[in-house]
Amino acid sequence: MASEQSANSTQSLKRVLTRKDLFSMGVGQVIGSGIMVMSISALEMTGRSLPFAFLISSFLVLLQAIPVILLGSVVRLRGGQYSQAALLIGEKFSGFYIISYIFSNLSISMYATGLTTYIVSLVPALAPYAKIASTLVLVAFFVLNYYGIEWLAKAQNVMFVLLVMGLLMFVGIGLPKVQWNGYFGNTLFNQNFMSNGVLGLLEASTYLTLATGGAQTIINFSAECVNPKKDIPIVIISSTLLVAGLYALIAVCIGGILPPDQVISIGNLAPIAQSIMPAPLYYFFIICGAMFALGTTLNATVGWVTKPLLQACEDGWLPSGLARLHPKYKTPYILQLIFLVVNLFPIWFGLNIATMGKMVQIITKVILIILILGIRKLPVLWPEAWEKSPFHVSDGMLNVMTVVCVLAQGIQICLSFRNLQSRIIVFNIIMFVCAFIFAQVRYRSGKVKVMPSYEFK
């Protein structure tokens, strides 16, 4: 049974995104603050073993993406991750999920803040005005997305090409300058290869799952895809693996060219690039490699972040008026404005990037465990469609995959709490309590009518 189509329904969104568009979205979503900013925090955690931290994190990311890959190969999820929560767990959980989802996407501000650090690297005189610059960056990308999915896709494809050129240039110039003789030893820069031991490597790997795990969020573009059941699973897997290999090569350059303290003190890749590149190439890298890496992530995130909320409004969890679509561009401009305002707070209160990364990471991983457990319902919900899926496995194998994925997420949550500030732990507890209370109260109000938000075409 399908919900009635209205002017503000997810059924009204334009279905124009091809596999090529999704691939640039997926890669652009992954390549962002992870390699350009978060990698520096991870370098402090694990030292020159950073390439292995990236590779381990990509494996963990594919494990946590299994529910999205399997479900996305069977149905079109018009509400993206929200529809996934409602289908696999239940109606009340979808209300709990949507509140958690709003909090977890405070990370949008992290991309704008990271991009600004590179702007300041080019124009040091802007350093005192970094918060204003971050605000303008955030506003610019929300304005771009206001004009619709076509503009978003065009901008993404252009930035994607220049981004890849910039990163390949960094790798091509940087690898020959790595101090290979001592890289895998324990004496280079007076630092051990694995500076904080195995636990430090695993902590960095867990932290970097936020950096390598963006591809699965393209499920939120499902309502706007031409062929989501085939394209989305393929793009999630291919973009994650491609970026993992590129990240590992870049990480070698991060750890093996300059002393880590020198890189950590700046907080980005600018000092490495400046030490190995002539001025014209350095500027190209900063603009096309670094800025566009964060820009593509920010652009894609602003594009998909409102789609689950759009469906939640249609189902009554949030006021329906918030889901109003622009009559011409078909963009949920009120929801976009709300996300813009909410994400200005971390910028102006000065939350650092490592803190914001860990804050949203714990929220995300707890939700992921619940969704992973729910994937076992797939053979019951749509047995015929599941049988036809190219990712179909036996019930026994599905149970094994579920157990492995849950264990991996549980370990990551434990590692995330290592050295975590008490205020962040308190924030997570308060957020979960608020989400639980909201779901119970709103559902009992009678205003919630969760409609089917999936299709088999």
Asked whether the predicted pLDDT for residue 88 surpasses 90, the reply is: no
In the structure, what pLDDT confidence band is assigned to residue 9 with cuts at 50, 70 and 90?
A: low
Please give the average per-residue pLDDT across 34-55, as a whole number: 88
Yes or no: say if 399 and 91 are a contact pair by the CB < 8 Å rule: no
Structure tokens, 181: 């003789």
Q: Mean per-residue pLDDT for 70-85?
A: 88
Q: Which residue has the higher pLDDT, 10 or 94?
A: 94
Q: Identify which has the larger pLDDT, 252 or 207.
A: 252
- The residue written with tokens 């980005």 in the block is 268
> What does the pLDDT read at residue 1?
33
CA dihedral angle for residue 97, residue 101, residue 104, residue 106, rounded to 10 degrees: -150
Per-residue pLDDT band for 296 (boundaries 50, 70, 90) equals confident
177 pLDDT higher than 90: yes
pLDDT tens digits, 366-389: 888 888 888 888 899 899 999 989
Averaged pLDDT for residues 245-254:
93
On whether the CB atoms of residues 330 and 149 are closer than 8 A, the answer is yes
Mean pLDDT of 163-170: 92
- Which of 106-110, 193-197, 327-331, 428-432 is predicted with the least confidence, judged by mean pLDDT? 106-110
Which amino acid, 246?
L
Nearest-angstrom CA–CA distance, 166 and 290: 8
Q: What is the mean pLDDT of residues 106-124?
A: 83
pLDDT computed for residue 131 by the predictor = 92
Most confident option among 203-207, 347-351, 362-366, 411-415? 203-207
pLDDT in tens, 323-372: 898 888 888 999 999 889 888 888 887 766 556 655 666 777 788 888 88
Alpha-carbon span 303 to 108, nearest angstrom: 11
For residue 130, give the amino acid letter.
Answer: A
- Cβ contacts of residue 126 below 8 Å, gap of 6+? 119, 120, 133
CA distances from 233 to 371, 384, 391 (A): 17, 19, 9
The b/e string for 410-423 (b: 16+ C-beta within 10 A; e otherwise) is eebbebbeeebeee
Cα separation, 274 vs 282, whole angstroms:
6
Q: What is the mean pLDDT of residues 417-425?
A: 71
pLDDT band per the 50, 70, 90 thresholds, residue 418: low
* Residue written as token pair 């499902």: 222
pLDDT of residue 4: 40
Predicted confidence (pLDDT) at residue 208 exceeds the cutoff of 90: no
Q: Is the pLDDT of residue 39 over 60?
A: yes
What pLDDT score does 266 carry? Answer: 80
> What integer pLDDT is reported at residue 279 of this predicted model?
92
